[in-house]
Amino acid sequence: MAIRRIVQYPNQVLKERSREVSKFNDRLHKLLDDMAETMYDAEGVGLAAPQVGILKRVIVVDIGEGLIEVVNPEIVERSGEQIDPPEGCLSIPGLLAEVRRAQWIRLRGMDRHGKPIELEAEGYLARAFQHEIDHLNGILFLDVADRIFRPEEETDR
């Protein structure tokens, strides 16, 4: 495993749509392992492959309940609305944003071996998945934010 460099805004790769993964091989496994190590090293809760310069539909998420890897993720159902907590992004340090997200989602994708998986998530986990899947579509939290602010301004909300 290796820690990869996290791509920083305004790098154009963050605005591009990622390609579907069709090969479930050692290269994909290394990418997933490296992404997890990179996310933990940066003290993040999620990371999408474009954030390490790879335009593949791959995400890792861990909100403190264990690592979840999803290849070719797709939200197939959503309900409710949440705006808290504010979101940050490893590719856009120093900014937070209020972003309206679904409170609950159903997600389909594949595991690292190409086996279909389906997950349900609510609250913070649902928020993290939605944020990372947006990255795969070239959407940044800045693009969908109701309000953008610096961490020191959070008490002003």
Beta-bridge mates of residue 47? 60
29 assigned ligand-binding residue: no
Task: Tell me phi and psi for residue 32, to 5 degrees.
Answer: -60, -45
What is the residue-wise DSSP string for 5-22? PPP-TT-GGGGSPPBPP-
Do residues 118 and 108 lie in contact, with contact meaning Cβ atoms separated by under 8 Å? Answer: yes
Residues in the chain: 157
Q: Is 132 a catalytic residue?
A: yes
Do residues 125 and 61 lie in contact, with contact meaning Cβ atoms separated by under 8 Å? Answer: yes
Single out the catalytic residue among 120, 132, 152, 154.
132
Q: Which of 16, 26, 2, 22 is nearest to 55 (CA)?
A: 16
Using CA atoms, how far apart are residues 60 and 68, in angstroms rounded to an integer? 6
In whole angstroms, what separates CA 157 from the centre of its chain? Answer: 24
> Which residues are designated catalytic?
132
Residue list for the binding site for Fe cation:
89, 131, 135
